[in-house]
Amino acid sequence: MADNVIGIDIGGTNLRGALVDSEGNILKRMKILSEADQGIDKLIYNLTNFITDISKGEKVTNIGVGIPGILNSKNGTITQAPNILNVDDYPLRSALNEKLGSDLNVVIENDANSAALGEWWMGVSKDVSSMIMLTLGTGVGGGIVLGGKLWTGADGMAGEIGHITIYPDGARCNCGNYGCLESYASATAIRRMVKEGLEDENLNTVLRETTEKAHMEDVPKIVMEAARSGDDFSLRIWQELGKALGIGIASLVNLLNIEMVVIGGGVSNAWDLFIDTTYEEAHRRAFRAPMKRVKIERGLLRDDAGILGSVYLALHSSK
């Protein structure tokens, strides 16, 4: 029997992970603060302790780590991870090997790619060979599995589904482009739409009061609740998000003829408020046959998707 594997998801706030067997069963979970904002040394210190703690009493030779950023998976280096480390070209794998032993197989991957692979291995896409996962959070992350393999591109940078252009003259995206999917289907997009809407003083919406003193991060949830209690403007925001998503999915379906599109991330909690519009828009635009074939599903694994995807990668790679 194969040894157990550690899967870790490094976030801006938390460092979450699990001890997982080779069949994908989660044996033990842990969560600590990542303190990534205190610099790379602190993060590595926390990461090392985390690994030592969770593997207590176990022989662990494989570790998979998901990180929100651009990575060079081949040499185990973080190219760029602005939300986390503020370090460029940091050799994470060799740092961990130095602290924990050179026989440890450390695999790193972009967190959205890991999540896609997790859903494909153990989640809603268990029985399909090709799928795309969209993670709707602060931004829009993406991962592409084709023929049972993660497609990471020539340099590990593929899967940026949040940055396909939906509206060429649309809202400015954080990446510098205009009209990206991310600028219409993320928490950031929702906040922008709220702000722009409220500029019209004649607009009648509960959001004028409920969002006034709210923290930025809470806005999507507030808009979700307002829509569920019938606020017109809030409903329109989710339709706008659903439409952009549908336009993007239609292009993906025509381009890649995948079996499934999985939607996850915190923003997808408003599933019932946008998915009908998404379906409708995608159906209207994509070719009939590949659209009939594709299933659009909600992610099953939530926070475990990335952890399990990283475990899968660690299990299927050799150092």
| Residue number, 43 or 145, with CB nearest to its own copies | 145
Provide the mask over 16-55, with x wherever binding to its own copies is found by CB under 8 A and - wherever it is not.
----------------------------------------
For the record, the structure tokens of 209 come out as: 């009061």
Q: How far is the CB of 250 from its own copies (least distance, A)?
A: 6
- Give the one residue of 126, 172, 195, 293 binding its own copies; rule: CB under 8 A: 293
Rounded (10°) CA dihedral 88, 94, 99, 101 = 170
**Residue 221 CB, nearest approach to its own copies (Å):** 28
Q: Which of 44, 70, 87, 300 binds its own copies (CB under 8 A)?
A: 70
Query: With left for phi above 0 and alpha for psi between -120 and 50, is residue 180 left, alpha or beta?
Result: beta
Q: Does 197 bind its own copies (CB under 8 A)?
A: no
Q: Is residue 148 close enough to count as binding its own copies by CB under 8 A?
A: no
Strands 260-264 and 131-136: parallel
Q: Which stretch binds its own copies (CB under 8 A): 2-10, 146-154, 269-277, 305-313?
A: 146-154
Sole binder of its own copies in the list 37, 58, 259, 280 (CB under 8 A): 259
**159 touches its own copies by CB under 8 A:** yes
Among 165, 174, 269, 317, binds its own copies (CB under 8 A): 165
Site size for its own copies (CB under 8 A): 46
Q: How far apart are CA 253 and CA 257, in angstroms?
A: 5
Among 83, 94, 177, 269, binds its own copies (CB under 8 A): 177
Q: Please pick, from the candidates 166, 193, 241, 262, the single residue that binds its own copies as defined by CB under 8 A.
A: 166
Dist. CA 292–CA 71, nearest whole Å: 35
- Name the segment binding its own copies (CB under 8 A); options: 12-20, 133-141, 149-157, 219-227: 149-157
Beta carbon of residue 170, minimum distance to its own copies (angstroms, whole number): 9
Contact call for residue 255 and its own copies (CB under 8 A): yes
Contacts of residue 297, Cβ cutoff 8 Å, sequence gap at least 6: 124, 125, 260, 261, 262, 263
Among 167, 197, 303, 317, binds its own copies (CB under 8 A): 167
CB 166 to its own copies: min, Å? 7
CB 303 within 8 Å of CB 16:
yes
**Is 247 among the residues that bind its own copies (CB under 8 A)?**
yes
256 binds its own copies (CB under 8 A): yes
Which one, 70 or 214, has the nearer CB to its own copies?
70
Nearer Cβ to its own copies (110/210): 110
Q: Which residues bind its own copies (CB under 8 A)?
A: 70, 79, 128-130, 142, 144, 146-147, 151-161, 163-168, 175, 177-178, 247, 250-252, 254-259, 284-287, 289-290, 293
